[in-house]
Each structure stands twice: as structure tokens, then as C-alpha cells.
Chains A and B, each alone.
Chain A
Amino acid sequence: MKRMRRRRSLFLLILAVATVLYAWAHLSLETRLLPAARGSGILLFVLTCGLALFNARKKLPFIPLMSATTWMQVHIYAGFFAALVFLFHTGFRAPTGGLEIVTYVLFAAVALSGVFGLALSRFLPPRLTAHGENVVFERIPGMIVSLRREVEQLIVAAEARTHSTTIAEFYEARLAGFFARPRHLWSHLVSSPKPLNSLLERIDALDRYLDEDERETSARIAGLVRAKSNLDHQWHLQGLLKVWLFAHIPLSFALLLFAAIHGWIAWRFTG
């Protein structure tokens, strides 16, 4: 933790120094009527390319070029610096040309999705850890199937023993959909226990119609419902941690293409 804090302080210091230096250089160029926009444009493009290299680095883990954590930290702070350079480059104005608008929107979308992803990576893991059993994301669909089968086997066995279809009918009416796939996205995102409590209350309410044997089965089903709810929680939150990259990475490549054309045309016309 101490090491992490020291590293964060170092990066923040570097970011602050870079910001001050850049602001000085930009204002100096503007004051001297020198092409400040050209300088900021070149720097911005280089920074964007450098930020995109982080994705390439992830695909080439065997290259011994600093740890992934360091790359991540550099990516984050360089991203903030790029956003600052972007604001200077645009002159804190909204563009009016088609190419400029698209490039502007792409940069804003990439930057905002990056900030969103950073926020997710800071807030969701503690919630995942605190909530219950952590499972590998890719295994969750299989586990859900496994739980569903287990529940169904319990119900079939109970029905064979008690000749009562109460639990089976309850399952069909209330639980089949719940066990079919991950459910209650928004409730899990806001950590609301309401859907789980609702199901458990209904199972409790069912107990008055059950005999002793069936109550035991009902209790085991309630346990499986809790397990399924945890799997849903893991699925939705881990999914969110992965899904934001579906915006961030593709838009980054689009941004590089549009920015390259914008830069090339600007260079040809303004030198």
C-alpha cells in the first residue's frame, strides 16, 4: 500500500510538472504568435499513439518492458495529460467543421470512457470482494447451469418422496426464470438486495404449505437462490468491467484515423 501511494504521488508530481511546462510552452507560443496549435496537435497525436500502445502491450505480455501495472499507471496519467493538451489544442471551443466535430467527439468519447473505466476499476472490485464468493467471469454461465440442474434435481427428488407438487409448481412459477440466466442487472449495479429478498420471502411464505421434508428442500433451494444471486452480481459487475472497453478501444482506433487525417490536412494547409 505504501509503495502504491508513493508511486501515485510520483505520477501525480510528474503530471503536475508536465502540465505546468506544457501550459507555459503553449502560452509562450501563443504570446509570441507562433503556431501553438501545431505544437499541441503534434503532441496530442503522439500522446494518443502512445496511449494506444497500452493495448498492444497487453497483447505482447512476453516483452520485458515494465510491468502491466506500470503501463496502466502511465496510461492513466498520460491520458489525463492528453485531455489537458486537447483542451489547449481546441482553444476551449467547440469545433464547427465536420471532420473536426467527429474528431472532437471521438476524443471526448475515448477520454470519458477511459475515465468511466478508471472509476469502475476503482469502485467495483471492492464491491465484488465484499459481496460474496469471487468466481472467474468465464465460468459463470456454466455455474448457473449447474445450479439450475441442482435445483431441478432437488425438486424432482422431493416430489418423488412426498408426492407433492407444491415446490415444483412454485419453481415453475417463480424460480425457473431466475435460474435460466443472469438477472436483475440494475439492482446488482446499485447493490440493491430487493430482488433477492423478494424471492427469499416468497420461499419463506411457501413454508406454511409444506411438510417437514419439503421444508428441508425449500431451505436448500433458498441457499441455491443466494448462490445464484451472487453469481448474477459477479456476472454483472465483472461484465461492466469488461464491457466499457468495447467503447474505449474501438473508438481509440477510430480517433487515431480521424486525427491522422485532420493532422495531415492541417499540416498541408498551415505547415
Chain B
Amino acid sequence: MKRWLQHFNHRECAYNCPNQDWVCGREDGRPPCAMGPDPKGGCHAKFECHPYRDGDRWVCNRPRRGSDEQPCEKGPSPEGICGCPMPTCSPLRSLRSIRTRVVMATIALSVGALALLLTSERGRTFMTPGELSSAHAIPNGTCADCHDEGDDAPINWLAKDASDPHAASSAKCLECHDLGPAGANPHSLPDNQLAEWSAKAAATPREGLAQPPLRIAMSQPIAAAAGHASEVACAVCHQEHRGRNHDLTAIANQQCQVCHQNQFTHFAKGHPPFGDYPFRERNRIVFDHKTHFQSHFKQEAHQAAAPESCLACHQVDATGDQMLIKPFEQSCATCHNKDFAGFDANAAKIPFLRIPLLDVEGFEDAEIPVGEWPDDWDSLETTLPPFTTFLLGDSEKNTKAVAQLSGKDLDVIDEEDQPAAADLAWALKEMLHDIGAKGRAELERRLIASLGRDLTSAERETLKSTISPDMIKATAKRWFPTLKEEIGQRRAGAPPDAAFMDPDEMEERLSTDPAELGRNWTRTDADLTLAYRPASHADPFMKLWLSLARAAGDGSESSPADRLFKSLGGASDKVAAGRCLKCHTRNAQSATALHWTGKRPDLTQRKATRFSHASHFHLLEERNCVTCHRLNFSATSKDYLAAFEYYNPEPPQETTSNFQRINKATCAQCHTRESAGENCLSCHNYHVGNFARIPPGSGLIQALPGVKEP
């Protein structure tokens, strides 16, 4: 039997008010009373109706509902009170009201929680927008390391100056990551260099698409609206607080390309050819691969020493990027050690100090006092060695005298040159005396004066370990027994007259045989010369003086420093003294230094392109080094060596390599999206310039052998 419980007409159906805060709480099953609860949830039902007065009678106005009759049987009392009292109820909150209260409670809870978190110390951790990447998750690091307001309670973050937050945060980044003065520029490049690169790119023939890739083309309207920023905030690319494993440097190829003129979708199709990469610069150590491979290693005498593979002479550096030249002892010594061990010792001597033969008779005639001077008792030279003239460069007077007498025979002096020759004679005596009297300090003073700069601690140490002032003092006393008295008289204003030393006494005092003084020094009384003889590869004396002379030279070839450099580097390519510069080149970037080693990974240098050799070693089983490095048969050895002319003041910065250029197609065989990937950052650095990849002093660099400390 169908049972209908609800009737819809105005007499039988009570009106429920679910939108009110309170609803009737009657539990007797009857419909809610017509009175309803008051706004505060009180029941004000007392009677079923409020009778109204009609003349002198009270009339029932009970609403008819269901089975209730109207008027009721009892009717109103004479006083007008309803005869049907009604039990009160406990009104109930409506569902809507309960929901509103839940909403209010939730809001209150949220506001309270946020207030607590915003004002408390612990709240800072909660408000931090996520874990830092592992690169920045420094133990004991605080928010203030990267944000000015980091140590404040989070409530202060809300009032932070937001005028240029990117610039503020980038400045903090650059405190640790020194990207140079143009750190915030695109690619960290100065404006002029950026413009230069842009112009170069514009002039390069494009292999890319005629139209930009779809994603870039589609974003064109946005770019047109947004324009280009002259500076790029660090956070544009490096988005932090995205978890420990977030890759801070991840960027899509299209994002790289939006600024670039040559746009393409695949490395194989569209990427510009490599040009002369990586052979833009000449080698630091001259090595003619072609001659060695095609001539030397084929000779019967050298076949046993010929390398079996590239790795006989090359090894990968600690970063895995660069192939280094192994030390001389491992790579070259087998054939070239005799260059140092088997030479003629006498021929290889480098005169350091020499007493020349002077025209003493001329001084006597002109009554120019120069004190005692050796007679030509055996075979004195009539010129000064470059070392000696370099050391005499401590004063303007000496420099002038040396310059005036340069190239002249000191044994036959014209009248006009006599004062300069006398100055030179006293300069030599004073140098010998002062070095003997003051020791290494005087030697260093003279060097500093000649160089025009202070010596580095390394230079001082090498000087100390290679030259003994006592040796010079003893030599001076042997050659000039009355030197101390003569210098004393000269400095007192009464220099002794010029006179030859007694030949017999000299012959008795001096020896015609060279004397070995230790540390590769030789004293030869026969020509009054103190000489140095390099005995092995990487001789510290040679390295020091070549570097000093190179640094002090002005390229004029007439200055004492340039003459010294030339004498050390190229006196003869048959002797060790002249062979350093056969392999060691001048620094193409700097006129003041020489390359004593092959190229080393330089953590202060970030170039636009990088290549990790180590990542490709697993391919060597099937493809050896020659896959990429193919000999350049079209270039002769002469072409290659042209870049290494020793004394060309402006050596060519580019060279004709022994090897062919790297072919992009070789890389493109594997570097596809499906295979080895073709991400721009696999081979390119965004930040380019001279700055430390690892902060100096962090201790990380020392852990990488073969890596140059910035």
C-alpha cells in the first residue's frame, strides 16, 4: 500500500524555514509550530493562537493545519487568552547555520594558524616555499644568506620592499657567484662583447629554419608585448625552492633560442657548423704531430719509442673535460732527454756576471778614477752579457751608460764614451760589492728596480734556491781583492785612480781552469765570468729568468730585458739554454708570460662551448680518437710552426693546426633527441667569462689534481 507522508497545500503543509539559524525542535511528530523560534534560538510558543477581539467577543484565529479544527473547541478565555496551551520546545540549529559556524570556525582556525606562523620563529621554516636544491642546501645556512629579510619573522616579509625583488635577489646570488662586472647581463657578457657576438652571429650563414620553431613562433605576440630586458635576473632561469633534486640549470632548447638569431629544432639540422673550433688558439707547447707521425716515429731509431696511442702522451684532466699533455718525463723524455743530458757543458754555459776588458790606459790619460781593473791576462771579453746589463738596470745612470755603450768594444773607448765607461766600471764594482755586502736583499732590489714591480713570493723563493749571494761575494773578492776599500773611497768622495791590476799577481791568484761552484754554477777566472749551466728539463733558474725577462721586456729588442730574453731563448738551438722556447710558447693572451705547461683546466674561465672527453671514452673501443681528430694533410709543418715565431712581437693568435676541424656531422651521429640528446647545455655554458666556478679557498680545487687554482 502506497503511503504518502507529505501533503502540499497551505493548510496541511507547514512552512519550514531552513534558511533561518534556528528551526523548531518539536519532537512529537507534529509539524513545526507556526510561531517558530526567535532569532536567538528561544522558543516563544505558549499558545496555539493569539485570539483577536471582535466587538465584545474574543475570536480564535488558530491556523488550520492537518486535522486541527479552527476554531478550537475550547476557544479563547474571557480575558482573550488562547484555550490551547502549547508545550515549548528546544529549537535546533538549522543545517545552514551549523555550516556557517563550521565556516567561521575554519576561518578563525586558519587566521589563527597563519598569525602564529607569521609571527613565530618556527613559522619561518613553514613559510619557506620549499626545499633548496642540493647545491644550495648548505649546513647551518639561513634564509638571510640569500634574502635580506631572511632572518626576520615572516610577518615582516609581507612588508618587504618589492620595488625590484629580482635585482635584490640577484645581487645576493652574485655575492657568492662572482660572474664579473656584467654578471646580470645576458651570458654575463659586457654590452660591447654581446653586441660583437650578435654582429658576428648575424654575419654567419644560417643553416637553421627560415621560420622559427613552432613554440618560439607561437610565443611571438607575448614577446612583442613584454619586450626585452637588458638584464636577466638569476631567478629567471635558476628557480630555487623546488626540492633537493631539482635541476637548477634545466632549461629547454627553445628557451635558449628565443634570443638567438639562428633558430632550429635539431642539432643535426640547423646548428651552425663548428668553424675552427677547437683550434682557434695556437698550442701552448709546440708539437708538430704531423712531422712526428709521418717522419720521426717511422725512423728506425725512434720506432721503439713511438707511442701506441694518443693516451701515451695525453691524459684526461680531473674535470673530465680536457685532454692534458702528460709530463715531459712521460711523453717526451724518451727521445728528448738527451737534449739536456748530453750537450756540451761548456757551450751551454750562460754568462751571468762578467768583468769586461776596459780601456784603463784611456782612463789614466784622462785622469778618470775607476780604481784597479783587471788587465787582459788571458782572454777577457770586451762586452757585457745580457744578465749583467739587466742587473745594472737599477738606476737611470747605469741604464744610460749601458745604452750608450751597447754594441761597442769596451777595450777601445772614444773620449766621449769615457765617462759612461767609467760609470759602468763603478756600477759593476758597486753591484759586486753590494750583493756581497747585503746579500739577497740587494739582488732582489736590483731586480725590482729593473722590472718596475715587486717580486712574487714564488719568484723570491726560486731566486733564493738558485743564486747564492755568498758565491757572488767570494767571486768579487777573488776578482777585486781591494773592492771594499775602493768602494769606501769612492763613496767618501775620493775614488782611487785608474790602474791595471798586476798581471803577475793575477796569474798567481786566478786559475785558468773553470771552477764548479755547485747548483750548476761555474766560475771561469780566465774570462772573469760567473756562468750558469741548466742541467735538466724545467730548470727553475731558466724558467725564472725567462719569465722575468719576458715580463720586463718592451719588445724593442734593444732593452736589457729583451736582450736577456733573446739570449736565453734563442742563443742557439743546439744547446739547452736555447731550447726552452723551441717548445714553450709565449702566452698569446698576455705579453708578460710564457707557457710552461700545456693547457690546464682553468676554473676561472668559462667559455661558451665545452666538451667532456671523459664522457666519450666509452666510445673509444669502437671509435678511437682519430674519429674526431684527423690529421690535416693539407697543411705543412711550416704552416703549423708559423704561429710560433719566437720573437715576433705580435705572433699570430690563430694557427694552422696539425688536425682537421671537428666535423659537426661526427657529433650528430649520436647527438639526436632519441640517442645521446641534443640539449644546448650539453655543450654550451650560459655564463661566459672569467670567474671562478668553485669559490677560491673552498678546498674543492685542491682535491682536483691538475686543475689550476683561480
Contacts and interface: CB of A to CB of B under 8 A. Distances in A.
Most buried by B among A139, A143, A269: A269
Given A30-B255, A224-B3, A269 B157 contact: yes
Contacts, number: 168
Contacts of B226: 32, 34
B23 A138 contact: yes
Given A133-B5, A142-B26, A266-B129, A32 B223 contact: yes
Interface string A224-260: 1011000100000000001001100111011001100
A264 interface: yes
Interface stretch (B164-172, B278-286, B616-624): B164-172
A148 interface: yes
B166 A33 contact: no
B255 A135 contact: no
The 6 A-B residue pairs with the shortest CB-CB distance, nearest first, are: A28-B219, A145-B29, A98-B126, A146-B29, A250-B106, A97-B130
B127 A28 contact: no
A31 B254 contact: yes
Most buried by A among B14, B223, B237: B223
B1 interface: yes
Contacts of B654: none
Contacts of B252: 30-31
Contacts of B28: 145, 149
Interface of A: 24-25, 27-34, 91, 93, 95-100, 133-139, 142-149, 223-224, 226-227, 231, 242, 245-246, 249-251, 253-254, 257-258, 261-262, 264-271
B6 A139 contact: yes
B499 interface: no
Given A99-B129, A142-B31, A29 B165 contact: no
Given A142-B26, A258-B110, A33 B222 contact: no
A33 B114 contact: no
A99 B131 CA distance: 12
A32 B128 contact: no
Given A268-B157, A268-B165, 19 more contacts: A27-B215, A28-B221, A31-B215, A95-B129, A96-B243, A98-B126, A99-B117, A100-B130, A133-B6, A136-B6, A138-B23, A138-B94, A143-B29, A145-B29, A250-B106, A250-B107, A254-B106, A261-B158, A268-B162
A269 B165 contact: yes
A145 B32 CA distance: 13
Most buried by B among A257, A267, A268: A268
A95 B242 CA distance: 7
Given A97-B128, A250-B103, A257-B111, A271 B165 contact: yes
Nearest to A267: B162
B110 A257 contact: yes
Contacts of A268: 157-158, 160, 162, 165
Contacts of A145: 27-29
Contacts of B94: 138
Nearest to B2: A133
B131 A31 contact: no
Contact of B218 (A27, A95, A143, A254): A27
A252 to B, nearest CB: 9
B214 to A, nearest CB: 10
A143 B5 contact: yes
Interface in B246-277: 252, 254-255, 258
A99 B124 CA distance: 10
A249 B103 contact: yes
Contacts of B241: 96-97
Contacts of B254: 31
Interface string B193-229: 0000000000000000000000110110111001000
A52 to B, nearest CB: 11
A257 B258 contact: no
A139 B106 contact: no
A93 B221 CA distance: 28
B16 interface: yes
Contacts of B242: 91, 93, 96
Nearest to A30: B255
Nearest to B95: A242
B143 to A, nearest CB: 10
A265 B157 contact: yes
A147 to B, nearest CB: 8
Contacts of A24: 218
Contacts of B687: none
Contacts of B125: 98
Most buried by A among B5, B95, B219, B252: B5
